[in-house]
Every structure is written in C-alpha cells, then in structure tokens.
Structure 1
Amino acid sequence: MAKGGFKRRIPLADALDMLAQHGFEIGSEEVSFDCALGRVLAEDVVSEMNNPPFDRAMMDGYAVRAEDAFGASQASPVLLKVVGVTVAGDTVSAVVGRGEAVKVMTGAKAPEGADCVVMVEYTQERDGVVEITVSVPPGKHISKVGEDIKKGDLLLKSGTVLKPQDLGVLAATGNLKVKVRKKPRIVVVSTGTELAAPGEKLGAGAIYDINSYTLSSLASGLGAEVVSRSIITDDESLLEDVLDMKWDLLLLSGATSVGEKDFVPEVIRRRGEVVFHGVSIRPGSPAGFGVVGGRPVFMLPGFPVAAVTAFELLVTPYIQRMLGTNVAVPHPTIEGLLTKAVPSQLGRVDFIRVRIEKHDGKISVSPVSAKGAGLITTLTKADGFVLLDAKKEGIEAGETVEVYLF
C-alpha cells in the first residue's frame, strides 16, 4: 500500500459526523441590501417601520364615507360633492366630510375622513358632483397602515439565502444594510502530471482537466467564492506551496487513492491532520478530509464522477454549515418507478445517475449505464441521481425512488 493510503472505508454517516465536529467559522460582514442577492443572512432582520406607512388607496376611484354610499345602485345612485383630487406622492389632500368625495389614484394617501374607495368603474362625475352606483363597506380598497408589515415584525430569519423578493421587502422597509455571512474563500486544485488546461495542445498521455471546473462551479453555486483554480503536477513541493496560500477551504482532486503517485494524504498528514481517508460511497470511496493550520482540506478522487459524488455528499454539507444555511441536498426532488434493479452492498451509499421519462402520466426512472467513475458523460446524460441507502443491498425494479434533479 502506498504512503497515505486508506486501510478501511468509514460509513458516510460517520464521515458526516466528523465533518460536523471540525467546523470552520468564517464570520460575517455588512453589505448594501441591493448587493445581497444570494447571500446568507447572519442575523434576523426586523422591520423598523410600518408598510404601508399610511392608509393607501388600492384602486382608482373616489374616497368616500361608506355610510354616504350606503344603498347606492344603478337604479338609485348617490350623489356626492367632489372636494379634491389626490394622486400617489401627494402629501396633503382634502378632508372628506359628510356628503363629500375625493378623487383618488392608486397608491395615493387615503384622505382623512374617508373609510373606503369606490372604483371609478361605478362612478360618473359631472360639474363637480360624482354619481355613485354601488354600495361599498368600510375598508374596501384601502390598505391600512401596517397591513403588510408592522413595525417590529420579523421579516427574515438568520440563515435565509436572500432571493429577489427578499431584497424587495428590505427595500420596502428601508433596511439599507444587512449583515451576511462572509463567503468562504475556496481554492480548487487538480493534481496530475497528465493534466492540461482546456485549449492547450495535448501531449502524449495528456488529458484536459475537468475537476477544477466542475468543483469550482459546484462551490460557487452554494455561495462560496472561488479565489483560485489551478493544476499542479504530482510534485509534493507544489502542494506545499498551495497549503501556504490564503484560503478558508481547500479542494484537492486526484492523488488520493493508494497508488505510488497518490501523495496528497501523506502531505496533509505531515502538515496537519488527516481526519478520515476512505468513505464507503460509490463512486468516490478514496475521498478524505484533513485540517492544515486550523483550516479544512478535502481530498477528492481524480475521476470526474467520483469527484462530483464526493462533493455532493461531503463538501456540500460542510459549505452549508460554513454559511449557516440548512444542511440538505440542494436539489429539487421527484418520485418515480425504477425500471431496472440496482445491486449494492450493505454499509455503502451509492450515487446512482438516472434518466427520467414520463409515460401516460407516470414517471419512470432508469439508471444510466456506467462502466466507471471516469466517464463525465454519465452525468450529462443523467437528469439527476438516486442515493441508495447504506442499509439496503439494492433496489428492485418497480420500487418507488426519490430522484434529486440536477
């Protein structure tokens, strides 16, 4: 066995427990709300004002006293004196007294004395008098102060990943600054003397680097900041240089198994601690995790599908904890019937790539034929994946399975 090789594979559940015990705090920062899309709140946000901040007309029409329009109909209209006009943005409007009305536009401040708005469709104005042909109850078409948001209301909870509508509620309440979790600074490195950057001329035995691009994209999608993406040859001194860089989380792919060139675990062990190496997952079993200088390092397999699997199962929950978000598989799910049996072994979690088809309203789930973890097209041909539980020896054809959609 090569140096740094693993003698056993620990259960995925044990690996996740170890990761939870080796969390890494990245702190928080204050940013402008309009630059916070996709960021994670580091504290609750409470409204400091009412919204709307005044009684607001919700329709074009006439603001009146409901009792003055009581009994109005087309056969027996009510006539009211128009004493003013108010549009959105006006700070002062006429006061509505008995037998009076004020013409209002949508969004305008409701005039004092009025308790409802009659839609313009049920009115006709002539010579300063409006004819009303419908009766309306108090409060109709008026949004009261604080109807949407009251001062002191909890708007957004800590851990919320801010969406466009969340920025809207921040704008509506004047919360111009928000405290968010800092983005973890991630360095991604593919190891392998055989690797070349896409676009370079390939020499004999060379292949293009895949993993640094897929892993960087996965990390960015979770809200992390990839500060460096690179390739290094199978040279321990180059890895030592990477370990001396500034980063919050390091993702290494390749050189993590038990071959003569698989030097990564040994270097991590020499510079810090290997917490675990070897996980009972397929593909991705050579994955490992270590700590160097108090900072977390993931050792991921070199085969592209194995690297993605290990990222989904191990790195994703770790980054979610760094950001303070819910720890969960970040993919929508759908259920369907498996078309073909999938064997496995007890104690191992299998990452099964699948295609989805719909026939007569039923959803069928078909495993993508895979001859190995090095075939990246088995991911591009798949619609998602099924996680086969470690407590099962397989899944029979016809069973209902949950699919995580890409």
Structure 2
Amino acid sequence: MVAVRKEFRDLAPPEEAHEAIASLDLEPESETVSLEDARGRVLAERIDATIDVPGFDRAKLDGYALRAKDTFGADEADPAVLDLVGEVHAGVEPDVEVGVGECVEISTGAVMPDGADAMVMVERTEESDDREHVSVYTSVAPGDSVMFAGSDVAAGERALGPGTRLTSREIGLLSALGVEAVPVEGKPVVGIVSTGDELVRPGDELHAERGQIYDVNSYTVAAGVEEAGGVPKLYPHAGDDYDEMERILVEASEECDLVLSSGSTSASAVDVIYQVIEDQGELLLHGVAVKPGKPMLVGRLDDSAYVGLPGYPVSALTIFRTFVAPAIRRAAGLPEPRTATVEGTMAVQERYAEGRMRLMPVGLVEDGDGNTLVYPVDKGSGATTSLVEADGVVEVPADTEYLSEGESVQVQLFSPDVRPPSVFGVGEDDPLLSRVLDRVGSPRYLSVGTRQGLRRLRSGVPDFAVASGPLDREVDAERLGAWTREWGLVVPDGNPKNIDGLADLADRDLRFVNRTTDSGLRTSLGNAVADLADERGEDRHDIVSAIDGFDLSLRAHESPARKVLAGKADAGLGLRATAENLDMDFVSLGEEQVQVLANPDRIEKSRMQVLAAVLDTVADETTTLAGYRAREQ
C-alpha cells in the first residue's frame, strides 16, 4: 500500500485534545476481588455494614458491671454496697446475670453480662475482705463506661461509598465488618505499541551503525500506565510497514480498552499509522498545539480507544502524563495524584494543653473559594472510622496551647492520593440520604445526629447538614432538599406483645431501646412523650421514668431495631423503612421532616450544585422506601 503524506494543517488547542480523549470510552467493567487484593482499588458499589462493630456490648475499663439504678445517690460518704456474684473476662461468654443489688467483676473489652446496663471503674470501688461485696463510691448512669454494639459502626449503616480508594485504612474497616470480597472498578487494559524500524528491545543486540536505538517508550509508558491505575500490555514492535502495523494495532484493539502507540505520528511519507486508524476506525484529532508533543493522534480503533504519542521519549512521556494519564485514572476511578503534604488553615479553634507533642488527626474541606480548611477529627482511639474520616495529621508541638481559627497549618497526608471530599456533610443518619450520597461522587458524611450536625454547621466547617424532626432554633442555612419519613416503634415480626403505641411502653412491663439525644428521631419521640403527658395530665418525667430503657440510647437508625431482633428488647425507636428492611413489624407514631441544609458560603461549590441537582430528583427514590414521601422545595 502506498502511503499518502498527511500534513499538519490546523493544530488543535490542548483543550480540544482533552475533550477528544474524554469522549473515548475506555472504562472497563467492574469486578469482584478478594480483600487481600483490594488495596489501591476503587469501590464500584456502596458497602453497608451487615454487622455491628463491636458486635456486642463491652466494657471500656476494668471494674464492675452493674445496674445503674443501684448506684443512684452513692458517693464517698455513703457508698452503694452490692453483692459480687461472679466475674467476666475478655473473650469469654458471660455465664452470670446481674440482678437487683448485684455486680460482676469485668475486664476491659469483656462482654457485658445480661441485666447490667452500666459499669464502674475499679478505682471508684472497694471489695470486701471476703470478696462477697463491693462498695461503689460514685453513682453511674445507664451506659456509663460501656461501648455498645454498633457504637463504632452500626449494622445497616453506610460504611464506604462507591468511588472510595481502598487504602490500609479502608481495608481495616472492611476487615472489621467481616467483608471477604469487594466490588471494585475494573482496571483499563492498555496496549502499548512502539513503532519504528530502528527500535530494539533492551537485552537484544544493538547495532548503532544502523541507527538502531533501544526502545524507551514501551517501558516508561507502561510504568506510567500502572501509576495511573491501568494494566499495561506490551506488544511487539511495529515497523513502518502498513500491513504489519495494521495487524498489531488491530490485535491490540481486540484485547485492550485503550491502545497507545509511540512514533510514526508525524507527517512523513513513511509514517502511515494515521492511515491505519482512518481505515480501521475513526481519526478524531491529528496534531496538537503543544511543545513538546505536536504530533499526537486521537481516535477509535474498532471498539477500542486509541492515542498516538510522539516518538521522542520526553515528548511521549510529557503528552502521556498531560493528556492520557488523567483519562486512565478516570476510567479506573482514581483521583489526581498530589504531594504528601498540604497547607491549609484551621477551620475552627482547637485547644490543646497536655504538655506533649500531639499528632492531631484532621480532615480537609474546601471552602467556597477553593481554599483548604483543616478541621480536627477524633472519635477516640478505639474507633476504626476515625482513620477513614481523617485525611492526615497535624503535628502540634508540646508547648502549643491552642491552634487559632484561620491559623496556617501543614497537614501530613496519609497518602499522596488523599483529596478533600467533593462535599462534606454532617447530621442525621438516614437511609434515603445514603442513596443520595451515592450519586454525588466522593462525598464525606459523618452521622453525628441532628443536634451535633446543626452545631457543626453553625461553626462553618461542613458544606451541609442533615436535620430531622423539629428544630429548636433558627439556622442560617439554605434548604437544598427535604422529605418526610414515618417513625415509630420497631417490634418483632407479628408484634407478639401486641404493642399499640407509646402508652404501652409506659404502662406495661416492656423493654425499650432509644436513640441518642443528638438524634432528631429522639427529639420527635420526646415531643410525643410530652403530648402523652399533657393528654393524661401527668408530668413528662414520670412517663420517661416509667419507660424501661428510655435512657438506653444507640447511635444509628437500625441499631435499636437490631437489639429487638436479637431479643434484647421488646420495641425500639426506628423507621418504617428499617422495619420493612429487617422483616419486622412497625407501630407508627407519626411522620417527621428531614432537611438538607446548606452552608450559605458553599452553595457555589461545583459538587454542592451536583448535590442540589440530585436532591431535585429525590422523589424518585422515595417510592422505593417504605414510609418516605417527597416534600416541595
């Protein structure tokens, strides 16, 4: 075949080259890999917790497990004296139950025995000489020094979202959840073909007198493909013969998502590669107004994407990193790379006066102007999720008493690949919200409850907060979306105790599990209790006291229901959607509003606009969740 000379006439601007490559489809199908092979991969789907972490109520300290009400009024002068009826050690199933006026010796991390709802540290107690009694010199409240099942990660909670890069932090969280294999984005397979009769593979004999040179591009580009998240596949050299070049390129296109060639892209009579692309596919672009790297091709070859790189190694690598590597990263679901340290300013004041150096875990968020804000992240040393929520650490010297709001700090990132979340939200735990966040792309959301969420929104740190139930004060925020959800009592399938409503909890011998005081659902319940008290002409606190377990509060929306499912309670505060998901029965107590409230200074952030657009379609999602209704904006 006779080659026809192709001249560079109108060089495309760089923006057009980016657009041409972006138009190519080089995304592979997702796949499932084992946890040990998942490091560095990108989640293709949301992972919800199927178990509680921890999976049982456990003691935080060495001491004694007991009933909190047996210690009420105890102090140094008048201790509560309890019968010591046994002991429980870590890793051993309790074989003792705590009754009225009794306690059990317990080790840190041990399972709380039945009947106990709190514990007291050993330092505030004294055993009798015969080890039959324990004097408790302080009063404790239900839940004191107990880490309840699901307090770190709760079953049914959104653990990790699609688009999450799996580092050692996320692998640790998945391990804690018992996940054996995960769905991940596929790695694009990139075929690499170096062209030119002068090329010799490293290791082969080189004849410099013939103008031969070692093939540099195949190996440097292959390394770049791996760094960008792709799988390189090297093919034999293609000479400047049309038929040979066509054979190799067609073979590569059948086996790869993207084919990269280097060399044979200039407007020379012997450089015929552009003719192969035009004959076997579609040439989208020939020549870019950049230096180095003018002779660049972009096109399609059968069902594969194609990019032709320049022949000179420096030019080839420059063009690859500038134009091709970002496309490979996008196809693999990976973020842009970045240095391992970033400068930012403190979003809030952080006090510290312990007299020793502190490595403060911090998260990153961008303000409305694109500046990096740094905020402290600390859920306690025992919480696995602190690692996932933090992006790095700030080293605080021992003689630093506080970091001021607006003070410049340097963050040591956990990984060079760490990026601020696309959007940062806080507030109420909600099943519909999880679906919304899946469609935003790389968000960070902390389920801290309505009360804490609104407090943090007022501090100006997050981009948005999610609140449910009635709000106790005005918030300077813009409402992006809203819906209602049906709430009430989640009970076992068949409602064996025939619970009809809230009055049954107060009037009958029933065990109840509540949500934390930060939850908007808890506020709705509190208002319902107040209404019941008014109805009866009774004091609200008397009704609260009559409900066994009212003060036993759990963090996430499914946690109380799972207590009921496990036979630990007769009813739990929850949602109709939760009851249906867990095949349980439900006693409705009403509806409450859920609102997504935006920080007014962050409305113009691009991903906040994406969030707003997703929320505009939230009505479609409510049809598949029991008890949910969309509200007018």
- Asked if residue 186 in structure 1 is aligned to residue 190 in structure 2, the reply is yes
Q: Show the 5 A alignment for 1:29-44.
A: 29-44=31-46
- Asked if residue 242 in structure 1 is aligned to residue 248 in structure 2, the reply is yes
Q: Which residue of the partner structure matches residue 159 of structure 1?
A: 163
Q: 1:177 is matched with which residue: 176, 181, 185? A: 181
List per-residue Cα deviations over 1:35-56 (Å, max 9, x = no partner). 2222222222222233323212
Q: 1:22 is matched with which residue: 21, 24, 47? A: 24
Q: 2:147 is matched with which residue: 143, 146, 150? A: 143
In 2, Cα distance between equivalents of 1:191 and 1:200: 16
Tell me by how many angstroms 1:201 deviates: 4.0
Q: Secondary structure at the match of 1:80?
A: strand
Tell me by how many angstroms 1:260 deviates: 4.3
Deviates most, 208-217 or 97-106: 97-106
Give the letter for the 1:127 counterpart.
D
Q: Which residue of the partner structure matches residue 220 of structure 2?
A: 214
Q: Which residue of the partner structure matches residue 60 of structure 1?
A: 62
Query: Normalization by structure 2: what TM-score?
Result: 0.48
In 1, Cα distance between equivalents of 2:107 and 2:270: 75
In 2, Cα distance between equivalents of 1:134 and 1:4: 90
Q: 1:89 is matched with which residue: 82, 91, 116? A: 91
Tell me by how many angstroms 1:120 deviates: 4.0
Tell me by how many angstroms 1:300 deviates: 0.9
In 2, Cα distance between equivalents of 1:295 and 1:253: 17
Give the letter for the 1:293 counterpart.
D
CA 1:238 to 1:93, structure 2 compared with 1: closer, same or farther past 3 Å?
farther
Larger helix share, 1 or 2: 2
List per-residue Cα deviations over 1:261-308 (Å, max 9, x = no partner). 433222222221111122233322222211111211111112222222
CA 1:262 to 1:94, structure 2 compared with 1: closer, same or farther past 3 Å?
same
Q: Percent identity?
A: 39
Q: Is the contact made by 1:189 and 1:252 (CA closer than 8 Å) also made in structure 2?
A: yes
Tell me by how many angstroms 1:189 deviates: 2.0
Q: Is the contact made by 2:63 and 2:119 (CA closer than 8 Å) also made in structure 1?
A: yes
Give the letter for the 2:339 counterpart.
P
- Asked if residue 203 in structure 1 is aligned to residue 207 in structure 2, the reply is yes
Deviates most, 1-10 or 276-285: 1-10
In 2, Cα distance between equivalents of 1:242 and 1:234: 12
In 2, Cα distance between equivalents of 1:87 and 1:313: 59
In 2, Cα distance between equivalents of 1:76 and 1:330: 63
Q: Is the contact made by 1:254 and 1:301 (CA closer than 8 Å) also made in structure 2?
A: yes
Q: Secondary structure at the match of 1:289?
A: strand
Q: Which residue of the partner structure matches residue 5 of structure 2?
A: 3
CA 1:137 to 1:18, structure 2 compared with 1: closer, same or farther past 3 Å?
same
Q: Secondary structure at the match of 2:331?
A: helix
In 2, Cα distance between equivalents of 1:142 and 1:61: 11
Aligned length: 335
Q: Which residue of the partner structure matches residue 298 of structure 1?
A: 307
Q: Which residue of the partner structure matches residue 280 of structure 1?
A: 289
Higher RCO, 1 vs 2 (CA within 8 Å, ≥6 residues apart): 1
Q: Which residue of the partner structure matches residue 329 of structure 2?
A: 320
Q: Which residue of the partner structure matches residue 270 of structure 1?
A: 279
In 2, Cα distance between equivalents of 1:76 and 1:284: 85
CA 1:179 to 1:329, structure 2 compared with 1: closer, same or farther past 3 Å?
closer
Q: Is the contact made by 1:191 and 1:254 (CA closer than 8 Å) also made in structure 2?
A: yes
In 2, Cα distance between equivalents of 1:75 and 1:242: 90
List per-residue Cα deviations over 1:70-127 (Å, max 9, x = no partner). 5666777654333222233333342223332222233322122323333345555453
In 2, Cα distance between equivalents of 1:207 and 1:314: 26
Larger strand share, 1 or 2: 1
In 2, Cα distance between equivalents of 1:214 and 1:76: 77
Tell me by how many angstroms 1:159 deviates: 2.1
CA 1:216 to 1:94, structure 2 compared with 1: closer, same or farther past 3 Å?
same
